[in-house]
Amino acid sequence: MKMNTTRALLLAMVAFLPAACNKDNNNYLYNEQILPITIKGYNATGEALAVKVDTFNSLKTIGLQAAFDLLESFTFKGDRQTVKLSISEKSTGKPVLEKEFRKDDGRASVSFLYMDGKVSDMPEKPAVADEKISLVYMFIPGVTNYSEPVDFAIGKYFVTPKVFEEVARIKNVKPNEFSEPATISTFSTARQEYNGVMTSVSFQVRIYKTGTKTLYTDGTGYTWNELSTSAPKPVASVASSKLYIFSEAPGGTIMRFFTRLDY
């Protein structure tokens, strides 16, 4: 009788094992799923950032004053459904960002800008396209404290006739926020003919009061130099995709700009 009981138990265990190991079985003891986590953006501070997934400290560090593109992962076991990503300043421990992901997300991602102790969303730049220039801006008017929306007028300045030819415009951009992207065709800045006259050409991005052709500096006590004042911009003749964060840095009464991020 004892032998029959033992044999029955053994047979029951053997029957249980294949079912427990079956990937399609709902037995939570054997249900595992890997969640890839992409972490992208730009750290515009002087603090390196530490990354933690759940309770695990990553060996990867987000460098200071640098773009980053990291890949982490987390393995869900049993009936676990969520996991927390934590990012903090490495030297001070100050929390920077926390985000929770779910098992059923399949793939997780977060993209952010860390600047002046604050976190904001980091937009995706358009992909570089042949013979095209794409531009995204954030304007920080920290000297004039200009608070109204502006337009970025992108164009060519013909020196001899003193003509600014607008090619594209990014409209209604609030200070300290990212603009929508604008895309223009590349062009040559070599000397060329304009209305029958040979002239030098420069690539310029002017900042207007929104919906107008009035420079935002009007009424601020600063002037806009037609030749040398411009929002940051890349080389006009080379295809590129750029994201700029820039601040005011006047020279005397002439408005100049300082590029905080060229990405």
CA distance 26 to 190: 69
**Is the pLDDT confidence value at 198 over 70?**
yes
> What integer is the mean pLDDT of 202-215?
98
Enclosing domain of residue 201: 132-262
Is there a domain that residue 22 lies in?
no
Q: Provide the 3-class DSSP secondary structure of residue 131.
A: coil
Q: What is the pLDDT of residue 65?
A: 87
> What integer is the mean pLDDT of 70-97?
95
Please indicate, yes or no, whether residues 255 and 140 belong to a single structural domain of this protein. Answer: yes
CA distance 83 to 100: 6
β-bridge mates for residue 209, sequence order: 150
**Are 75 and 53 spatial neighbours (Cβ–Cβ below 8 Å)?**
no
Domain boundary among 121, 148, 170: 121
CATH at residue 55: 2.60.40
pLDDT band at 8 (very low <50, low <70, confident <90, very high): very low
pLDDT band at 28 (very low <50, low <70, confident <90, very high): very low
Domain boundary among 121, 150, 176: 121
Is there a domain that residue 4 lies in?
no
What's the pLDDT tens digit per position in 99-146? 999 999 989 999 999 998 999 999 989 999 999 999 999 999 999 999
pLDDT band at 11 (very low <50, low <70, confident <90, very high): very low
Please indicate, yes or no, whether residues 81 and 166 belong to a single structural domain of this protein. Answer: no
Please indicate, yes or no, whether residues 165 and 110 belong to a single structural domain of this protein. Answer: no
Q: What is the pLDDT of residue 30?
A: 55
CA distance 169 to 32: 50
Is there a domain that residue 3 lies in?
no
Is there a domain that residue 19 lies in?
no
Compute how many other C-beta atoms are within 10 angstroms of the C-beta atom of residue 191: 12
Is there a domain that residue 258 lies in?
yes
Please indicate, yes or no, whether residues 58 and 152 belong to a single structural domain of this protein. Answer: no
**Are 236 and 184 spatial neighbours (Cβ–Cβ below 8 Å)?**
no
Q: What is the pLDDT of residue 53?
A: 97
**Is the pLDDT confidence value at 234 over 90?**
yes
**Is the pLDDT confidence value at 23 over 60?**
no
Q: What is the pLDDT of residue 1?
A: 45
Please indicate, yes or no, whether residues 136 and 115 belong to a single structural domain of this protein. Answer: no
Please indicate, yes or no, whether residues 55 and 175 belong to a single structural domain of this protein. Answer: no
Q: Characterize the bridge pairing of strands 197-199 and 108-115.
A: unpaired
CA distance 158 to 202: 7
Lowest mean pLDDT among 25-39, 161-175, 247-261: 25-39
Please indicate, yes or no, whether residues 175 and 223 belong to a single structural domain of this protein. Answer: yes
Domain count, the chain: 2
> What integer is the mean pLDDT of 82-104?
96
Higher pLDDT, 13 or 233: 233
β-bridge mates for residue 202, sequence order: 157
**What percent of the chain is predicted at pLDDT more than 90?**
82
Is there a domain that residue 185 lies in?
yes
Q: What is the pLDDT of residue 66?
A: 87
pLDDT band at 4 (very low <50, low <70, confident <90, very high): low
Please indicate, yes or no, whether residues 136 and 251 belong to a single structural domain of this protein. Answer: yes
Please indicate, yes or no, whether residues 150 and 229 belong to a single structural domain of this protein. Answer: yes
Determine the residue type at 171.
K
Domain boundary among 68, 91, 121: 121
Angle of CA points 158, 160, 166, to nearest 5°: 20
What's the pLDDT tens digit per position in 149-184? 999 999 999 999 999 999 999 999 999 999 999 999
Please indicate, yes or no, whether residues 136 and 247 belong to a single structural domain of this protein. Answer: yes
Q: Which helix (H) or strand (E) holds 98?
A: strand 95-102
Is there a domain that residue 18 lies in?
no
Please indicate, yes or no, whether residues 93 and 153 belong to a single structural domain of this protein. Answer: no
**Is the pLDDT confidence value at 205 over 60?**
yes
CA distance 178 to 205: 16
Is there a domain that residue 8 lies in?
no
Please indicate, yes or no, whether residues 48 and 98 belong to a single structural domain of this protein. Answer: yes
